[in-house]
Structure 1
């Protein structure tokens, strides 16, 4: 199953895909992050870790094309290796569809990596978008 559309050839997600990303629950520790919603508990966690920026990404299901669990898990392991090799701090995370139309995807919440490098990694894993945020602000989607 794929959520891609001809609109994506123009660099724009179709509305169904955009809605799925906007409505997803992005879980980090005990906090559920939602796009364009404040998260004071997560801001406190970032303050405790002395972090300013964060980026949520996954290696699962490139271009929203569902892969077998074993392939997604292998992709996640390569992501962990890449992130460790760059020396980036991160928290384990997951993305979930509150309507349960999509299976939960394991991901990472990168803490203070260089922005362009985080976007580069998301592109490497063929993701449509990355969730990015800053302490004290609401998370947003950045389409790749």
Structure 2
């Protein structure tokens, strides 16, 4: 199993994971989507997550990426390796998932390859954010609103 966390744990310098308000705003403005058997499901923070044949009302869906830890851009090769490790972790957890992505609607940063994981626990999402160095994941209960779940050690700072 590939591990990534030790090299990334220092991001918060012992004070937690520092996340600028402007970065949170960028995550909130981003467009996310999952490629379901019935087609692409769009997810936007604060907007409803509609039910589909694959995801009935009440199903929990989380869009998780391993790309660009703590928003530090890595090469496509490094990101692909990290994504493979995330997919392995999803299989180990025995959860269903669909290909997904998240991107900036203005095109200032490239879409990140992600996984839309069905019914993950908060504990598991927190473990993955720690392991893969992610500031946040998108979580929605089908029939409810999509929202950000911040890193368990998040400290929000101005900027």
TM-score (norm 1): 0.85
RMSD: 1.9
Stretch deviating more after TM superposition (106-115 or 56-65): 106-115
Residue in 1 aligned with 2:97? 90
Structure 1: tracts of 5 or more residues without a match: none
CA-CA distance at 1:51 after TM superposition: 6.2
Q: 1:11 to 1:73 in 2, by over 3 A?
A: closer
Q: Deviations over 1:68-114 (max 9, x none)?
A: 11000010011111111221111110011111111110000110122
CA-CA distance at 1:46 after TM superposition: 1.1
Residue in 2 aligned with 1:46? 55
- Relative to its length, the structure with more helix (as a share) is 1
**2:120 pairs with 1:113:** yes
TM-score (norm 2): 0.77
- Relative to its length, the structure with more strand (as a share) is 2
**Aligned with 2:43 (options 19, 33, 45):** 33
Q: Deviations over 1:38-93 (max 9, x none)?
A: 132xx22411xx86211111000000000011000010011111111221111110
- Alpha-carbon contact 2:65-2:115 (below 8 Å) kept: yes
- Tell me, in whole angstroms, the C-alpha distance in 2 between the residues paired with 1:12 and 1:27: 26
2:148 counterpart SS class = strand
